[in-house]
Structure formats: C-alpha cells, structure tokens
Amino acid sequence: MTTTAPPPTPARSAPTPGPTWWERFRGGSAWIVITTVAVIIAFWEFFPQTGLVNRVLFPTFSETVAAFVQLLGGGYWWDDLAKTMSAVAIAWVIGVAFGFTMGVVLGTSPFMRQAITPYAIAVQALPKVVLAPLLIGWLGFGPESKIALAVIICFFPVWIDTMVGLALPSANEFKLMKSLKASRWQVFTKLQLPSALPMIMVGVKHALLLAFTGVIVAEILSASDGGLGKLTKEFASQLNMGLVYSVVTIVVILSITLVSIADVIERRVVFWSEESRARRK
Amino acid sequence: MTTMTQTAPLVRVDGVTKRFGSGDKEMVALSGLNLEVREGEFLSLLGPSGCGKSTALNIMGGLLEATEGTVTFSGEQLTEPNRHIGMMFQQAVMFPWRTTLENVLLPVEIFGEKKKDFIPKAEELLEMVGIKDFRDSYPWQLSGGMQQRAALCRVLLHDPKLLLLDEPCGALDEFTRESMNQELLRLQDYAKSTAVLVTHNITEAVFMSDRVAVMSARPGRLVDIIEVPFDRPRRPDLQTTNDFIKLVAKARQMLELQ
C-alpha cells in the first residue's frame, strides 16, 4: 500500500500512551457487536430448552459447540473438505477463464454481442440448479458434474462485468488513443482492460462465492462423491443437527476467509479504483 | 524553405465540409471551410458552440474524415492521425492506473520506442511546467490544472510540428486557466511548434493568437480572420491596453453580426 500512497505521506506518529482497552471498548463500536453476539448465543442456548421446539432438531449452543469439537477431533471429514475445496478451485478457475473470454469476445465485437446476448439473457434467467440432474446424468456422480454445475453458476458475473467494463473508457480516452494511432490491441491492453479491471475483480469475487454454492448444491444432490455438502446431508439424515450446524459453520468460515483474501488482493491489484481509494481513507 | 514570407502553409484546409447523419437527420457541422495555418504561428478558431470548430480540429488531426474537401499537412494529404500532430482535449485524459511520468510516456509505448530514451526529456518537461515532484503520483492525487500540465508534457514529448488544442483550459477555473495559458504559450515557443486552439472565449483567443479565425454557427463557416499584431512574449497586463480591448471588441462585433 505504501507504494501507492500520495507523496506527502504523513509520517506515522510516534506511539503515544493511548487509551486503555476499557476506554477503547466503551468509546468504539465493539461493545455493540459483543452485546449482539451475547444476546444471540443466549437465545440459542435457552430457546430450545423451553420446549417450544424439538430439541433434537434444534440443538442448543453448548451442544453445537460440543459437536463442533467432536467434528474437529475426528479427522474423517478432511477428505470431504479437500474434495469440496478442490472442486471449488477448479470450477472457479474454469468459470473465470470462460467468463472472461466470453466478456472479451462480446465486449470487443458488436457482431458477437448482437448474436449472443439474447441467449445470455435466457441462460441468466434460468435457475441453473435445475440443470443439476441433467449434468449428473451426463457426467456421472463424480467431481465432473459438480464442477460443471459450479462453472455454469459462476461464470456469468465475470462475463457481464468484463463486457461492461471494456466499454467503460470515455470517448475522450478512445480519442487520445486514436490520435496516437494506437492499434486495436494497444487500445485493448493499455486502455480497455485496465479500465475494466475494477469491475472484473468484482465479478471474480462474486464468482468465488457462486462456485462454492454450486459445488455444495451438487454435493447435496449427487452425494456419492463426498464433500461438505454430502456431509451435511448425511448428518441431517441421522438427525445429528449439531454436526450439521458445525459443517455450516466451517463453510461460513471458509467463505468469509476466501472473500477477505480476495478483498485484499483486489485492493492491491486495482489500487486506483474509487472503491479501493475510499477504503484506504 | 524559400523566403520567409512565401513559406508554404503547414496545414491547408481546402473546401472542407462535414455532414453527420443522412436524410432528414442530416446535420451540416462544417460548410466549405478554407483555412491556412502558417508554420510557427498560433491560430485560434473562435466561435459559439455548435459552429463546428471542434469538428474542424478533429478533421485537421485526422480523427474525422471530411465529407468533402481535403486537408494537407506538410504538403501531403492527411487521411489518418499523424505522429507529428499532437492533440489536447478539454479533459486531461490521464489514466488513473499510471503515474504522472507513466502517463507522459504513454505515446512512447504506443509508438513502440524505448521508454528509457525519453525519461530525461519527460522529466525536463515536467520540471518546466512545475510538477516534477509529482512524477510518481497518480492523476487522482493531482489537481485539474496539474493534470492538464501533465497532458501538455505528454503531447510535447515527441516535438509535434502541429499542436491541436481543443479548449484544453475549458474545464479549469479562471485563475488556473490564465496560468495554464501562459504555460501553453511558453512551451509552444520552446518547442517551436505551430498551434491551433479551439475556444469560445474571445479574450483568450486574442491574447494567445497571432491570428483569430472567427466562425459562425450552423452550418459552421469561416467569417473572417483577425490579425493580432502584439509582440511576444505576451504578458497578462496586455489585456488591459486599449489596442487589445479594441481587437476584442472587433472580434465580438463579428460574432454578433452573424
């Protein structure tokens, strides 16, 4: 980040005796978060014990924690985790590559845009999960079908964001390039692609979460290849809801981690974008 | 080069007409423009908005094709952009992912030359316009005036024979605009290039130019050319002299008579 800071970078001030942690806690917004979490946990712990809901279906917080510890202790799910994450990674890479290629083709060729846009809209309007049985039928119960579903679900935002991004440069920017007699390739690499990059990064991040969704849905539907999706389905059918909660928690932690990493990378790559600049302030 | 008085014009605009659209929607932007730009002079195209002056400039830069007529540059017919012609627009057009220096060096990359060979010249130009300290800053860290100065450095990097200026100070505030105009005159003189400025500001046109081509609106047509006899370099206080005010009044009258 230091490389992109403005020249009059204010020197980091010498550490002064700051407020104590209690003052910071009272003064900041941390107490709001902590209070909210405490209320939710209290509700989670006591509501199932009131008898208003079935305790088997709605385990308490402490039972969930115990199940989580049990899950972490038993190493049997590592294989499922690896299967899910490798499928997400493969689907994401394929989806981004395919979406980007489509975006470039349609973003640079008015003819292709005219020809393909109606189908693109039709495909996007379709709830793509409905294709899962078809893909499983075609590709079998192995990783191929879940990767295929995830690719179909995740490539779209990359495609659209690339296509729209390439059209972002202003008329004056194109005019400048033209006045320098830049080739089409130069206009693409030196103007259109960098201009589109902030939008493409948004699509790529979006695709990551969609790939995750696609893989887990396929795992729940086809089950035989394993994965975290299969795990939740199995635990749910055993009515072991504490373990289902635990797997869900793992999925939440994974997706938050992935998005956070993507955010950091995004801010480095497209440091000039309005959003990156706003977040640096 | 023959004698000083008889040099061939750098640019000759011959009966240029530009029509946009066709049928009912046809719009004549420029009608039968004849104009000669002499080597080394500063010429302004002055007129109300919609008089086709920017269209004329874009045709002279090879960005637009004339519907009728021809443009000759350095004795050859001009049909496409030429690297000896540099253009500046109302916006600085700086790419936000490039530092000031990288933006100035953009033409070097497009022309497929070595960046290293042009860095000293780029730094010299940045120094001349007073923004050398910002060579590694990004455009969004610069003011509008500083960005436009950087754009001036970018256009002068390859010593263009002809500078086409499409209201480069139009988006700046009055104070910045005045100092930017001074900068323009100084650097045009330094680079010994010829300049054509498009503007709708009468005072600016008279102050900057050796000749002012007054144009009329819709369809754009040349009304007359005013010779501006003042010595160079021009100081801002020239604008309060009687002779200057008379010339401005003359130009204003021409614009209003149409």
pLDDT, tens digit (0-9, with 9 covering 90-100), for A38-79 = 999 999 899 888 888 888 888 899 988 999 898 888 888 888
Contact B83/A at CB under 8 A: yes
B127 lies in some domain: yes
B206 lies in some domain: yes
Q: In Å, how far are A151, A161, A164, A229 from A208, measured between CA atoms?
A: 10, 14, 19, 17
Distance, in Å, from the CA atom of A155 to the CA atom of A35, rounded to the nearest integer, reads 40
Check if the interface score ipTM surpasses 0.85. Answer: yes
Q: Which band of pLDDT confidence, cut at 50, 70 and 90, is reported for residue A13?
A: very low
Contact B124/A at CB under 8 A: no
Largest CA distance in chain B: 54
pLDDT tens sequence across B153-167: 999 999 899 999 998
CATH number at residue B123: 3.40.50.300
What's the average model confidence in pLDDT over A248-258?
Answer: 91
Contact B141/A at CB under 8 A: yes
Percentage, residues of chain B above pLDDT 90: 51
Contact A244/B at CB under 8 A: no
pLDDT of residue A277: 81
Q: Is the pLDDT reported for residue A8 higher than 60?
A: no
Q: Is the pLDDT reported for residue B170 higher than 90?
A: no
pLDDT of residue A26: 67
Q: Is the pLDDT reported for residue B74 higher than 60?
A: yes
Q: Residue B134's Cα: distance from chain center in Å? A: 25
B24 lies in some domain: no
Contact A263/B at CB under 8 A: no
Q: Indicate the number of domains in chain B.
A: 1
B12-38 core/surface letters (b: 16 or more CB in 10 A; e: else): bbbebbbeeeeeeeeebbbbebebbbe
pLDDT of residue A252: 92
Question: E strands along B81-233, which residues?
Answer: 85-88, 162-166, 194-199, 211-216, 221-227
3-state secondary structure of B133: helix
B79 lies in some domain: no
B140 lies in some domain: yes
Do B19 and B28 touch, CB atoms closer than 8 A? yes
B29 lies in some domain: no
Cross-chain residue pair A194–B97, CB shorter than 8 Å? yes
Q: Which band of pLDDT confidence, cut at 50, 70 and 90, is reported for residue A223?
A: low
Distance, in Å, from the CA atom of B36 to the CA atom of B15, rounded to the nearest integer, reads 11
B11 lies in some domain: no
B-facing residues of A in 52-81 (CB < 8 A) are: none
Cross-chain residue pair B141–A190, CB shorter than 8 Å? no
Query: Between these two residues, A11 and B231, which has the higher pLDDT value?
Result: B231
Q: Which band of pLDDT confidence, cut at 50, 70 and 90, is reported for residue B179?
A: confident
What's the average model confidence in pLDDT over B122-134?
Answer: 91
DSSP chain A: -GGGS-SSPPPPPPPP----HHHHHHHSSHHHHHHHHHHHHHHHHHGGGGTSS-TTTS--HHHHHHHHHHHHHSGGGHHHHHHHHHHHHHHHHHHHHHHHHHHHHHHH-HHHHHHHHHHHHHHHHS-GGGGHHHHHHHH-SSHHHHHHHHHHHHHHHHHHHHHHHHT-S-HHHHHHHHHTT--HHHHIIIIIHHHHHHHHHHHHHHHHHHHHHHHHHHHHHH-TT-SHHHHHHHHHHTT-HHHHHHHHHHHHHHHHHHHHHHHHHHHHHTTTSHHHHHHH-
B32 lies in some domain: no
Name the residue in chain B with its Cα closest to that of A174. Answer: B93
Cross-chain residue pair B110–A180, CB shorter than 8 Å? yes
Q: Which residues of A touch B63 (CB under 8 A)?
A: 175, 178-179
Range of the domain at B145: 40-63+84-215+222-257
